[in-house]
Amino acid sequence: ITVINGEASASSLALTAYFAMGAVLTYMGGALSDRLGFLKTVRLGNLIFLPSVLVFIFVSNIWGFFGAMIPMAFGVFSQYGPITVLGQKYLAKNAGFASGITLGLGITLGGLVAPYVGHLADIYDVQTALMTLIPVGLIGLLMSFWLKEPK
């Protein structure tokens, strides 16, 4: 609202659209994994996330904001299924444990980190707070190239 001088209704629409896209893009990430492979889908998600979050942070109008939100959402949500399956393949004898680790750890870390990102936004501004996501995305991308295809 404060960054692009928007209205509260636009902010609500953006949040609703983002999570609605999440439902669709999680499904699309699974379908994409069937075609490209799990690791390539995770890498693609990270590669798309990094530039789109930069655009999202520095955009100054509502259309650019929504335009950047779409690839950013793809970068985030398309990876959920492939990461879970990769965890199950890496820990094939403990698939339940693997699912708990990949999903539980992601949700827990997100739940623990999100309030701090919000606190940074309160202290500084939204752009500064969102810039903390760039190193996280970069680390995820680099680590995805470190992973090997499971056997």
pLDDT digits (tens, 9 = 90+) for 62-92: 888 889 999 999 998 999 889 888 888 888 8
What is the reported pLDDT for 34? 95
Low-confidence ranges of the chain (pLDDT < 70): 1-5, 103-111
Q: CA–CA separation, 132 vs 125, rounded Å?
A: 12
Tell me whether residue 73 is in a domain. yes
Tell me whether residue 2 is in a domain. no
What is the reported pLDDT for 35? 96
The letter for the amino acid at 77 is: F
Contact 82, 26 (CB under 8 A): no
pTM of the model: 0.83
- Counted domains in the chain: 1
Tell me whether residue 130 is in a domain. yes
What is the reported pLDDT for 42? 94
Q: CA–CA separation, 60 vs 78, rounded Å?
A: 26
C-alpha pair distances (Å), 112 with each of 107, 108, 133: 9, 6, 14
**Which structural domain range is residue 47 located in?**
8-146
Tell me whether residue 77 is in a domain. yes
Q: CA–CA separation, 48 vs 72, rounded Å?
A: 7
Tell me whether residue 151 is in a domain. no
Tell me whether residue 37 is in a domain. yes
Tell me whether residue 93 is in a domain. yes
